[in-house]
Amino acid sequence: MRRNHTAAPLKRSCPRRHYWSATIRPQADRKMVPIGSRTQNLYRRSDACVRLTLLTCVFLLSGCSQRKSGSTTPAQQPQQAADNAIAGGVDSIEHGFFLTDDQLRRMKEKGIFLSSTDFPAVHFEAGGFAGGEKIGAAIIDRLQRAYKVGVKLAFSTDIVTDYKDENRAQMTWDYLAVWRAAGVPNAEVLKCMTTIDAELLRIQKERGAIAAGLYADIIAMPSSPLDDTESLRKVDFVMKNGAVVRKPR
């Protein structure tokens, strides 16, 4: 794998293209562990950081990532689960569709990330979830409040339905509409996809930005996502670890 790549040489040869770094999750060892009467997936990184996600109800309303301990107790109610996670000083809360302003403020104070999995309402409705439109509106409201409070937002998805004739990759970009509806600026959305995700995964010294010394994970597209994040649907250049794996035809 090659390091010490920067975007400068590429920009000189392709001055009108727009480059953004892509965050890639590190490889992890996986095992199954019992928690209460259920089995959860436990991912243990090589630095002994443990990531454990709790699915507390049908709509995946709350969850947490434990920093050091490999065990955690699932709560029966989403709000109580979130309170427990915040009090325990977790790295991140997943989903958290109905987090309160007070919970969001405490998350900011403790530096807890929100991995928000902002489902578009149309995905819920296409999947036949009852109350999909209402939950979709709550997700937009929560994302808007979290951004205003200043919680560190990690862009994330959770594709669990089919939608029209889109594949999973195309459905990922449908989440961008939720961020626009919540009023999150395009530049902030891009940070949440790259540098902030890398910080959450503790790989910011390896990936997540275009800088000397970091792995060159770069994507490019014909128009700038700073102007319109929908341009991310038209990625036509991909570099992984400094090697070009896709380029414009």
Q: Are 10 and 30 in contact (CB under 8 A)?
A: no
- For residues 26 and 164, the model is more confident at 164
Q: List pLDDT tens digits, range 153-186.
A: 999 998 888 888 889 889 999 999 999 999 999 9
Identify how many contiguous H helices and E strands the chain contains and give both numbers: 9, 10
Is residue 30 within 8 A of residue 43, CB to CB? The reply is yes
Helix (H, G, I), strand (E, B) or coil at 42: strand
Dist CA 230 CA 41 (whole Å): 33
Average pLDDT of 136-161? 95
Residue 194 has pLDDT above 70, yes or no: yes
Q: Which domains does the chain have, with CATH numbers?
A: 1-22+210-249 (2.30.40.10), 27-207 (3.20.20.140)
pLDDT at 205: 95
- pTM of the complete model: 0.70
**Helical residues (DSSP H) of the chain, grouped into ranges:** 8-13, 78-87, 101-110, 121-126, 132-149, 168-174, 176-181, 186-193, 195-200
Nearest-CA neighbor of 142 among 193, 113, 104, 171?
A: 104
pLDDT band at residue 107 using 50, 70 and 90 as cut-offs: very high
For residue range 37-87, what is the model confidence (pLDDT) as tens digits? 333 333 333 322 223 333 222 222 333 333 344 433 333 347 888 898 899
Looking at residue 48, what is its pLDDT? 27
**DSSP per-residue codes, 69-116:** -S-----SSHHHHHHHHHHTT-SEEE--TT--HHHHHHHHHHT-EEE-
Q: Taking Cα atoms as reference points, which of 177, 115, 195, 118 lies closest to residue 151?
A: 115
Q: What is the mean pLDDT of residues 138-155?
A: 97
Predicted pLDDT at 130? 86
Mean pLDDT of 191-204: 95
| Torsion angle in degrees (nearest 10) through CA of 198, 94, 152, 182 | 120
Say whether pLDDT at 110 is over 90.
Answer: yes
